Amino acid sequence: MADAGAAAPAGPSAVGQLVMLGGFVLIFYFLLWRPQSKRAKEHRELVGNLGKGDEVATSGGMLGKITAVTDDYVAMEIADGTEVKLQKVAVTAVLPKGTIKSVK
């Protein structure tokens, strides 16, 4: 019964909890949200700057040269006389000129 009169241990204060919550938000912002939005912005710029003659790689791993560009789609030549149409968002990278010839 001697312990019955003792005060219960105090938990973290409200200010401490707010500081901890703020720290978690900052960690999420700098490690997750900011890099993801930066990558999305770079991809939007890449897709917006696509033009005829660009050599590109797609998300499916195909390499080709763009032959036509519309608002949402591109026509891409993947071999002599073989052309495919695909969505612009499927393009993941613009390659330096001559890359496709060096791969073949």
Residues 11-28: tens digit of each pLDDT: 678 888 999 999 999 998
Q: What is the mean pLDDT of residues 21-48?
A: 92
Q: What length is written for the chain? A: 104
Residue 83 and residue 65: Cα distance in Å, rounded? 9
Q: What is residue 101's predicted lDDT score, i.e. its pLDDT?
A: 86
| Residue that has been written with the tokens 């797609």 in this structure | 58
- Whether residue 8 has pLDDT greater than 70: no
pTM of the model: 0.68
User: How many Cα neighbours within 13 Å face the side chain of 40?
Assistant: 6
pLDDT digits (tens, 9 = 90+) for 58-104: 999 999 999 999 999 999 999 999 999 999 999 999 999 988 888 86
